[in-house]
Amino acid sequence: MKRLSSWTLAGALAVAAVATLAGCMASGGGGKGASVNASAAEKVYVKPGEHDAYYAFLSGGHHGNVYVYGIPSCRHITTIPVFTPEPAVGYGHDEESKAMLGGYTWGDAHHPGLSETDGDYDGRWLFINDMPNARIARIDLADFKTKQIFGPIPNLSAAHACPFPTPNTEYVFAASRFSVPVPNRLVKVEDYATEFKGIIAGIKVDPKSGEMKMGFEILMPPFDYDLADAGKGPSMGYEFFTCYNSEMAHDSLEVKASQAEMDYVAAVDWKAAQAAVDAGKATMINGAPVLDPAKVPGIVYLVPVPKSPHGVDVNPTGEYICCSGKLQAEVSVYSFAKLKAAIDAKKFDGDKMGVPTIRYDDVLEAKVPVGLGPLHTQFDDKGNAYTSLFLDSQIAKWKVGPPWNVIDKIDVYYSIGHLMASEGDTRHPTGEYVVALDKLSKDRYLNVGPTHPEAAQLIDLRGPKMQLLYDFPTYLEPHYAQMIRASKLHPFTVYPLEKNQKPGNIKRAEDARIERHGNRVDVYGLVVRTHFTPDIVRVNQGDEVYFHWTNLEQDDDIAHGFGINWSNCNMQIEPGETRTMHWTAEKVGINPFYCSNFCSALHQEMQGYIEIHPKGAPVSSLQRPDPRQVAEIDALLAKR
């Protein structure tokens, strides 16, 4: 009987396992959209070889880069180098990206902003700010590479409220967290209230290329400008910015900047601002056209917001502007219709340094009692909003519209900052997921010493109650994030050789060569499985050597590396790409180089040597590979 019972138990367990697997298969896994009634494990499960339903782009904070995750699996897919050198791929080490970084080796990346068309994510570009250095980067989502870094933006100190694109990506914005004198000069910090200014900058974006250039700047009172969001629908044409420190304190802000009952949200009419610049009403300061609202009315307005606001978020219809005061237990919801009516009627309640103020009660639509420490709000497709509560460590779900009530709350772990809903910043959120970006992880993961990972938590929004599905750690330190349907992105995996027009490119082995001009040496070479052409380079001590390598591969996932021994030189060359690396020949002798990125079974054999001859020793000014080697490479390429 005991033996029979054992087999019966084993059989029952096997049946249960099969049933669980069948249920998992029936649900299709997370990538296919598991049933609302499925288990948490089934909802995040993405079968091997299948893909997630969403891309999530998380800012890297003081890491300076962007992290890419798949949702709902929460798998980290890649890190996009942006403001910080990344040696694995050579970003910041090759000549092109080094020039783009402009000498900076650090950035503090806070707020990713996906490009939009008609208020919805379009999958073309991702913008992100470098807060302390007042820069904005544009990442091309065709290849997930940083293509432009704009800035430092003149006159602007610390671009925190940035970039927050407009509904058709006409502009990205930046506003100063730290006010400074404009133009910057030495004054007494104690004269902060009279000598310092805030700046709101509108940066134009080319609709075809995404190239950024200066549009306009607006002089503002010396408040601390925090976050922003663009109007949409009826509020299209406005950009909204929260600001705190309306007390204009210059020291001990943790006390002195929290005294007033009200701070402000600034409403910028960006079309009117650009029209004023075009009409010649701006003053050029440090190369930027700057508008003074005291002299150019009708471009910006201030609306009071209770107690140190952080987030400002426009609902999907564009009717309401939701502002969260960190020291208030409510979200203040403003009606854009009421705001516009007050502006049109010039119903102002004085001004702040030339910026008209509008009475709180004249634009307020509702106050929603969400809980303690409200920071940031996102939206779903059913008329609901989700607000992060830092002090309560919760997310509050509430109804946008009468009765303006809280419907549900969920605990998160711990001290949530921002949250990210699926397409939750757009006109058409999908209402499937929200991710809590928690500031503290404490005991949620394996102990790795004093530096804890950041915490993120995936929450299902599809049922009547929010459901916590999954915890996943992130590296330091995501502030803000956005999530887009994977179906909207179509990145290519190979750079077509026929379109490669980069300087230094060659596409035939017979064009490989080494040219000398004074003490500058240019190496024009090819990389292909599994050979460098040329693989012997002769230079003199003190030469400045520029290696221009073109990867002739046209197969997916066959990148090559180029690393030089005893140096800081390493880079990855993608299929069809040309990249340039600078190296100085410092010491007489032999320097090996090799492929640092695994490429094939003969990866170990892919190497070469640099002969460094004494300074002044005879070295040919034009070197070419051995003709037999050229013929071998040509024969190899002919077979592909």
- The predicted structure's pLDDT at residue 28: 43
| Global pTM value | 0.94
Q: How far is Cα 111 from Cα 310, in angstroms, rounded to an integer? A: 13
pLDDT at residue 17 greater than cutoff 70: no
Q: Buried b / exposed e across 170-179, counting CB within 10 Å, b at 16+?
A: bbbbbbbbbb
Mean pLDDT, rounded, for 430-448: 97
Q: What is the pLDDT of residues 128-137, one digit of tens each?
A: 999 999 999 9
Task: For the chain, count helices (H), then strands (E).
Answer: 9, 42
* Residue reference for tokens 């190369």: 287
Residues 6+ apart with CB under 8 A from 4: none
Tell me the per-residue pLDDT of 596-606, one tens digit each, with 9 for 90 and over: 999 999 999 99
3-state SS assignment for residue 107: coil
Cβ atoms within 10 Å of 490's Cβ, excluding its own: 9
Nearest Cα to 533, choosing from 546, 519, 547?
547
Which is more confident, 35 or 33? Answer: 35
Domains of the chain: 497-638 (2.60.40.420)
Amino acid found at 5: S
DSSP 343-360: HHTT----EETTEEB--H
pLDDT of residue 639: 77
Q: How far is CA 28 from CA 38, 74, 411, in A?
A: 10, 17, 28
| Whether residue 10 has pLDDT greater than 80 | no
Q: Tell me the average pLDDT across 223-248.
A: 97
Structure tokens at 306: 């209770």
- Residue listed under structure tokens 């601002």: 273
Confidence label for 29 from pLDDT (cuts 50, 70 and 90): low
pLDDT at 4 over 60: no
pLDDT tens digits, one per residue of 167-204: 999 999 999 999 999 999 999 999 999 999 999 999 99
How much is the pLDDT for 274? 98
So what's the pLDDT on residue 269?
98
Alpha helices (H) in 360-441, listed in sequence order:
360-363
Give yes or no for a contact between 335 and 320, defined as CB atoms under 8 angstroms apart.
Answer: yes
Phi-psi domain of 336 (left: phi exceeds 0; alpha: psi -120 through 50; beta: other): alpha
User: Looking at the predicted structure, is the pLDDT value of residue 26 above 50?
Assistant: no
Q: Is the pLDDT of residue 8 over 50?
A: no
For the cut 90, the answer to whether the pLDDT of residue 633 exceeds it is: no
Q: How does DSSP classify residue 617?
A: S
* Contact criterion met (CB below 8 Å) for 320 and 277: no
Distance (Å) of CA 573 to CA 34, 66, 295, 550, 600: 39, 20, 53, 7, 15
Please state, as a whole number, how many other Cβ atoms lie within 10 Å of the Cβ of residue 278: 11
Distance CA 45, CA 291 (A): 53
pLDDT at 219 over 50: yes
Strand order in the sheet with 416-421: 416-421, 433-438, 454-460, 467-474
Give me the residue label for tokens 């969920």.
Answer: 410
Q: What is residue 442's predicted lDDT score, i.e. its pLDDT?
A: 95
- Tokens 């056209």 correspond to 289
What mean pLDDT value characterizes the chain? 94
Q: How far is CA 495 from the centre of its chain?
A: 23
Contact by Cβ (8 Å): 44, 467:
no
Is residue 357's pLDDT more than 60?
yes
At 302 the three-state DSSP class reads strand
Dist. CA 464–CA 441, nearest whole Å: 27
Report whether 124 contacts 210 (CB < 8 A).
Answer: yes
Of 280-289, 326-335, 411-420, 624-633, which range is least confident? Answer: 624-633
pLDDT score, position 540: 98
pLDDT for the residue numbered 634:
85
Residue 393 has pLDDT above 50, yes or no: yes
Backbone angles phi, psi at 161, to 5 degrees: -75, 80
> Rounded distance, CA 315 to CA 394, Å?
21
pLDDT on residue 24: 39
Among 355, 380, 251, residue whose Cα is nearest residue 304: 355
Do 378 and 313 contact (CB within 8 A), yes or no? yes
Counting beta carbons within 10 angstroms of the beta carbon of residue 275, is it exposed (0 to 12), middle (13 to 18) or buried (19 or more)? middle
Contacts of 378 (CB under 8 A, 6+ apart): 313, 385, 386, 419, 420, 421, 424, 425, 429, 434
Question: Secondary structure of the chain: what % helix, strand, coil (to 5)?
Answer: 15, 40, 45
Instruction: Calculate the dihedral angle through the C-alpha atoms of 158, 160, 162, 164, rounding to the nearest 10 degrees.
Output: -170
pLDDT (0 to 100) of residue 637: 79
Rounded CA gap, 547 and 8, in Å? 70
User: Could you report the per-residue pLDDT of 110-148, keeping only the tens digit for each?
Assistant: 999 999 999 999 999 999 999 999 999 999 999 999 999
What is the Cβ-side half-sphere exposure of residue 368, based on CA atoms within 13 angstroms? 32
Say if residue 1's pLDDT is above 60: no
Question: d(Cα 555, Cα 459) in Å, to the nearest integer?
Answer: 38
Q: What is the pLDDT of residue 13?
A: 39
- Decide if 396 contacts 377 (C-beta within 8 A): no
pLDDT in tens, 259-278: 999 999 999 999 999 999 99
pLDDT band of residue 31 (cuts 50, 70, 90) is low
Do 246 and 223 form a contact (C-beta atoms < 8 A)?
yes
Nearest to 558 by CA among 581, 577, 535: 577
pLDDT of residue 15: 38
Minimal CA–CA distance to 575: which of 599, 594, 607, 596? 599
